[in-house]
Amino acid sequence: MAAKSKARTIIVRLISTARTGFFYTTTRTRQGSKLAAVKYDPVVRQRVLFVESRKTKKTEEVYGLYRNP
């Protein structure tokens, strides 16, 4: 039986460079370059640079981001 192929897109997290902890979650193609975008950060109420950080389960566990109620 053949191995399962990897998805064409991956989920990534765009983290604010203002170090507020605010982030956006988006998808990009697996072969594409890393994302960086100027977006609105509601914590500082300004447009700031957001850089890509791959969304991993380890990050979620360490920072407790996706807790189930």
| CA atoms of 8 and 29, how far apart (whole Å) | 6
For residues 11 and 35, is the Cβ–Cβ distance under 8 A?
A: no
pTM summary value: 0.70
**Which CATH superfamily includes the segment(s) 9-63?**
Ribosomal protein L33 (2.20.28.120)
Q: 26 pairs with which residues across the strands?
A: 12
Radius of gyration of the chain (CA): 14
Q: Tens place of pLDDT for every residue, the chain, 69 residues?
A: 778 888 888 889 999 999 898 999 999 998 989 999 999 999 999 999 999 987 665 555 555 554 444
Q: Where are the domains of the chain?
A: 9-63
| CA atoms of 50 and 23, how far apart (whole Å) | 8
Q: Classify strands 23-29 and 46-54 as parallel, antiparallel or unpaired.
A: unpaired
